[in-house]
Structure 1
Amino acid sequence: MQFTPDSPLPRDTESRSQAVGGEGSLPVWDLSDLYAGPADPVLEADLQRSTAESAAFQAAHAGKLADLPGDALAAAIATYERIEEVLGRIMSYAQLVFAGDAQDAANGRFYQTMQERVTAISSNLLFFTLELNKLEEAPLEAKLAQSPALARYRPFLRDLRVFRPHQLSDEAERLLHEKEVTGRSAWNRLFDETVAGMEVKVGEETLNVSAALNKLSDRDRGVREAAARGVSAAFGANARLFTLITNTLSKDKEIVDGWRNYPRPGSSRNRANMVEDEVVDALVGAVVASFPRLSHRYYAMKAKWLGLDKMQHWDRNAPLPDEDDSEIPWDAARDRVLAAYSGFDPQLGSIGKRFFDRPWIDAALRPGKASGAFAHPTVPAAHPYLLVNYHGKSRDVMTLAHELGHGVHQVLAADQGYLMSGTPLTLAETASVFGEMLTFRAVLDAETDPRRRRALLAGKVEDMLNTVVRQIAFYRFETLLHDARRNGELSREEIGALWMQVQVESLGPAFEFTPDYEIYWSYIPHFVHSPFYVYAYAFGDCLVNALYGVFQDGKVADFPAKYLELLRAGGTLRHQELLAPFGLNAADPAFWQKGLDVISGFIDELERADGRDELERADG
């Protein structure tokens, strides 16, 4: 049973979030499609039922999978999927409650309690995937050939067995699983609660981290500098804690990777992304080699536009002189994004509209709310939720377009079921970046003023540099940090030096970095929550650039229909199979160059426009 928003049961967390938000026109999500509140008796009933069902499942199947015929094994997987989806629903709700207000101690306790209870329940299920991986190839293939019901789960089994060489004994796997709540998850929670509770002084204002970071794109350079100094001071005051968290998690990863026999720190992430280490190396190598023609070249132009000999780190996201920084109302942002989605394909727009018609988006600004933005898929039986912090800037509109792409992707893939609807991170950014590109192109094509058009194009270049160059720099930082950590615990200064190294090489000679920038590594949540995640953004951006180029060429018949089929596939197909209908191959070294050439082409266009402006000024 699901409770609707008008359920008589209390929705304490949702009501409190709305009251604190105070934004009026900005939407706040209603999580009652998952549960009516932390005290919802349905939540407790789901926990109790899952406890009993997981224990019964273990008793019925542990040690017996090899002897099951194909149809019986398929039925066992279906039961496992059903129990896991209920646990996924519980944890989705707990995560979203916590993200809505991490400052509320009750939310933190609720999140931790749910983690502990779900971990205990899922310990009864842990044997299942371990035992599936112990099945020999030939007998498993025979079962798949004999049973259409089991063959449906072939993608699930394929992706599970990627980890077969890295699987430990059942006892070791159970120990790691159960200790997660007092290990990595506990450090993640400590980081989140610390950042959520931080106050940043910006001039006479006291802001949370999200609002302070937003000031780094203020038109007033003095405000940007004050915000940058405030962020540096706030994170610097917590540097000892963040250094400890980083060192501990890095060492924890080294220990687990060593036991699992992964060749290098990023390998486990690459296996999860269903991509080879060599493919990631090719992407990283291509982007690093392109730093001079991308970021170095662009930021040299930006410094000139801003009238600066050298830029500081607080100038990186500064608005351009011709940029329209007027506030964009929420309704206008919604209409802009939906028009772009619908213009590409009406079904895409129709699915996107659901998120605005129903309380599936939290855009309000309030203390304690998670910074940044995300799309949470929850479970196929429910629907995704989007979190954004909407400040009314043009970048916020693009963020909305990005997260809506994730949401639409998750809706379309839901028919694949809980075990196969999720995509590897390398493909998870496809719909989001494509949605951004659709929205940007629609806005750019509608603009006729040359100066505003140039500002729009420059803004898009900056977003792409943030997605590709900056994320690969982050990946390089993580690689250097984890490699160095193997030689012993790192000091704050040593970590800061690695951070500055990658910033200098990636952003180029247009910048002159002040020493206070050395602490900025500490505010990136991906380093804590998802080590080596960040290259997936660059992977997705380059992939979408190539994909969008095919769309523009018009040489692929029924492109929108094929694109929607790509999204519907969820995690059932690998990137080679998904890209084949579009004539693309990510294993080809030239593939990455195509994506980077799109960014370089935009910068070429900006240089030409800049040259025309200089001629006009000279003639004048």
Structure 2
Amino acid sequence: MPEQTLLSPWVEGFPVRAAPVRMALVRDGGEGAAPAPVGDLPRWDLSDLYDGRDSDRLRTDLAQAASDAEAFSSAWRGRLAGASPAALAEAIAEYQRIDEILGRAASYAQLLFAGDSSDPAIGRFSQSINERLTEISTHLLFFTLELNRIGDDDLAARLADPQLAVWAPFLRDLRVFRPHQLSDEVEQVLHEKSVTGATAWCRLFDETMAALRIPLDGRDLTVGEALNRLSDPDRAVRERAAKAIGTVFGDNIRLFSLITNTLAKDKAISDSLRHYPRPGSYRNRSNMVEDEVVDALVQAVTTDYPRLSHRYYLMKAKWLGLEKLEHWDRNAPLPAADDRMIPWDEATRQVLSAYEGFDPRMGEIARRFFDRPWIDAVPSPGKASGAFAHPTVPSAHPYLLLNYHGRTRDVMTLAHELGHGVHQVLAAPQGYLMSGTPLTLAETASVFGEMLTFRALLDAETDPTRRRLMLAGKVEDMLNTVVRQIAFYRFETLVHDERRSGELLPERLGALWRQVQAESLGPAFTFAPEYDVYWTYVPHFVHSPFYVYAYAFGDCLVNALYGVFRSGHPDFQDKYMDMLRAGGTKRHRDLLAPFGLDAADPGFWRKGLDVIAGFIDELERA
């Protein structure tokens, strides 16, 4: 899953710290008791960060960071304008050192909370750490603000010095936010109040969702476990699960509507203060991509709804023997689908084989995650649903969270998150401030890892029926990654635009949700009334507004990139590894140029969408 802000690295539309969690796209599966056939699943060991909530090292780190932050403020506040290039480079290096200490503590608290957000003690610890980090980082807030007040010509002259030039990518990306920067006093107030503002509402959402139980067939299921029933082969089971989920979400709709309205209004206030032209503009700036590029992506996908999702789901309805599909049929397995459980060991072999087959260097990094306790795959109550990869800090290593149920989709999720992990390991030498990539590139390695795994499995399969089923499954995953996520983006856009004129009632939120779902899924579907509340469980809407288009961006980018690979492009593996190693030091245009690709080219998105359409063409011929 990649950017999740359990402890937000951003404050009200202005960057404060780096290393966001990479959130996985919602695949309608999650927590719950793991079936026995999947084997022994790994649990992570967070002691590489800290050995417990009462860790002496954690106390020492926080105390040292507080002291160092105060000293840093005393040494540099008001002095950056006249600092020499060498002195400025020294200051940035010290800022990064202190910031990484804070990032380590934040990562530990985030991972603990993700592992069990239903434990009040962990919730209290997470909030306490968040408050402490906010207090400490208040002493650092001046630094980026003062850096942005240095004139363009002045800074350009100083960057001619090699010592400062090392930090050019950091300064370049920071200055994207320069036109939206507020006074130091306002920035500090927004920073300090963030723990009782958006962050607190995010915590309320997480704890509420973790505590919900869905009564189904004599059991009380977690949300993730109930959502997993929407992929059951038995349509009656899917229908009962869908209605039970809808009932529970409906019972809590006022709370979820309040959270959504409050966060949307909070964002609108911030956007207005900072003069962002529209609700998604801050996200685009942080992704280092122009509004127009995102508009081109959204326009390309929505225009292609008929030849992609509409066409596929009409075929699926026929395969299932149904005149119309209900929302609980969207992820239904196809007739004759192999429903066998895939043990964890087999999933590990499949994914590692694909990674190693592409490049042994990438396979070696991927294997570390299995040889060491860096993965938590056991579904359990209170655990965050879905999956994510957390880079933590360069001085440590990434961690992966999964909820492994032994399905093919879970294998693809493993391949996806492992791609993030490999990317984060390769980029770590760039340092804490420059290793993180914009979301527009963050999904490249993850989606590419999925494609490698899928292609390896497809190429090894000789049975025509199984190949057709595998191809259909891949099409569904791609539609979930591209069409579904753009529909999510459209929903967010409509909600945030309308919220500026007043609070949205739950019924209006439901109507907007139904509108975008009907547009994206097409005439094959009818929607039962309970589906109007299904927007409530998507965590991206709460934690990371307008994050979701990054999945479509990444999928289309990878489709084009994979086409270059399959064409035999010279030195592709070396260029690909260099792209991942670059972290956040280069923009998408520079990173894609060695492959002959340009995301600003209107035809770029067509290349990616043509891959999906080609798979559907093949299914029609089968």
Say whether the fold is shared (TM-score over 0.5): yes
1:228-243 aligned within 5 A: 228-243=242-257
Shift of 1:365: 1.3
Q: Determine helix, strand or coil for the equivalent of 1:527.
A: helix
Q: Determine helix, strand or coil for the equivalent of 2:523.
A: coil
Contact in 2 for aligned 1:406/1:432 (Cα 8 Å): yes
Q: Determine helix, strand or coil for the equivalent of 2:400.
A: strand
Q: Deviations over 1:399-452 (max 9, x none)?
A: 000000000000000000000000000100000000000000000001111111
Contact in 2 for aligned 1:23/1:365 (Cα 8 Å): no
Name the structure 1 match of 2:61: 46
1:205-604 aligned within 5 A: 205-554=219-568, 556-604=569-617
AA matched with 1:416: Q
Q: Distance in 2 between matches of 1:347 and 1:248?
A: 47
Q: Distance in 2 between matches of 1:598 and 1:113?
A: 48
Shift of 1:201: 1.5
Shift of 1:24: 6.6
Q: Determine helix, strand or coil for the equivalent of 1:421.
A: coil
C-alpha change, 1:373 and 1:159, in structure 2 (3 Å) is: same
Name the structure 2 match of 1:10: none
Q: Deviations over 1:504-527 (max 9, x none)?
A: 000000001001000000000000
Shift of 1:205: 2.0
1:56 aligns with one of 71, 74, 78: 71
Q: Deviations over 1:259-285 (max 9, x none)?
A: 000000000000000000000000000
Q: Distance in 2 between matches of 1:584 and 1:441?
A: 22
Name the structure 2 match of 1:157: 171
Name the structure 1 match of 2:204: 190
Q: Distance in 2 between matches of 1:535 and 1:346?
A: 31
C-alpha change, 1:23 and 1:46, in structure 2 (3 Å) is: farther
Q: Determine helix, strand or coil for the equivalent of 1:511.
A: coil
Q: Distance in 2 between matches of 1:188 and 1:312?
A: 31
Q: Distance in 2 between matches of 1:24 and 1:594?
A: 40
Q: Deviations over 1:65-120 (max 9, x none)?
A: 01110011000000000000000000000000000001100000000000000000
Q: Determine helix, strand or coil for the equivalent of 1:429.
A: helix
Q: Distance in 2 between matches of 1:507 and 1:428?
A: 27
Root-mean-square deviation (Å): 1.4
Q: Which has the larger radius of gyration?
A: 1
Answering whether residue 97 of structure 2 is matched by residue 97 of structure 1, we say: no
Shift of 1:322: 2.4
TM-score, length of structure 2 as denominator length = 0.94
AA matched with 1:569: A
Q: Deviations over 1:141-160 (max 9, x none)?
A: 11110x21210100000000
AA matched with 1:137: D
Q: Distance in 1 between matches of 2:609 and 2:46?
A: 40
Name the structure 2 match of 1:615: none
AA matched with 2:549: Y
Q: Determine helix, strand or coil for the equivalent of 2:159.
A: helix
Higher relative contact order, chain-length normalized (CA < 8 Å, sep 6+): 2
Contact in 1 for aligned 2:38/2:342 (Cα 8 Å): no
Contact in 2 for aligned 1:218/1:318 (Cα 8 Å): yes
Shift of 1:230: 1.4
Contact in 2 for aligned 1:202/1:223 (Cα 8 Å): no
Contact in 2 for aligned 1:293/1:600 (Cα 8 Å): yes
Q: Distance in 2 between matches of 1:202 and 1:550?
A: 48
Name the structure 1 match of 2:3: none
AA matched with 1:564: M
AA matched with 2:593: A
Q: Kindly tell me the number of residue pairs found equivalent between the two proteins.
A: 590
Q: Distance in 1 between matches of 2:37 and 2:615?
A: 40
Q: Determine helix, strand or coil for the equivalent of 1:500.
A: helix
Contact in 2 for aligned 1:23/1:364 (Cα 8 Å): no
Name the structure 1 match of 2:10: none
Shift of 1:528: 0.2
Q: Distance in 1 between matches of 2:179 and 2:307?
A: 41
AA matched with 1:117: R
Shift of 1:22: 13
Q: Distance in 2 between matches of 1:578 and 1:402?
A: 20
Q: Distance in 1 between matches of 2:509 and 2:601?
A: 35
Answering whether residue 149 of structure 2 is matched by residue 120 of structure 1, we say: no
AA matched with 2:458: L
Name the structure 2 match of 1:131: 146
Name the structure 2 match of 1:79: 94
Q: Distance in 2 between matches of 1:501 and 1:304?
A: 24
Q: Determine helix, strand or coil for the equivalent of 2:278.
A: coil
Q: Deviations over 1:195-230 (max 9, x none)?
A: 011101122221101111111101111111111111
Q: Distance in 1 between matches of 2:525 and 2:562?
A: 32
Q: Deviations over 1:113-139 (max 9, x none)?
A: 000000000000000000000000111
AA matched with 1:275: V
Residue identity over aligned pairs, in percent, reads 70
AA matched with 1:343: G
Q: Deviations over 1:356-384 (max 9, x none)?
A: 00000000011100000000000000000
Structure 2: give runs of 5+ residues left out of the alignment: 1-31
Contact in 2 for aligned 1:323/1:455 (Cα 8 Å): yes
Q: Distance in 2 between matches of 1:323 and 1:89?
A: 44
Q: Distance in 2 between matches of 1:214 and 1:464?
A: 19
Q: Distance in 2 between matches of 1:59 and 1:323?
A: 66
Q: Distance in 2 between matches of 1:168 and 1:36?
A: 39
Q: Distance in 1 between matches of 2:216 and 2:324?
A: 23
Q: Runs (4+) of structure 1 moved beyond 4 Å?
A: 21-24
Name the structure 2 match of 1:614: none
C-alpha change, 1:435 and 1:22, in structure 2 (3 Å) is: closer
Q: Deviations over 1:310-344 (max 9, x none)?
A: 00000000001122110000000000000000000
Contact in 2 for aligned 1:478/1:527 (Cα 8 Å): yes
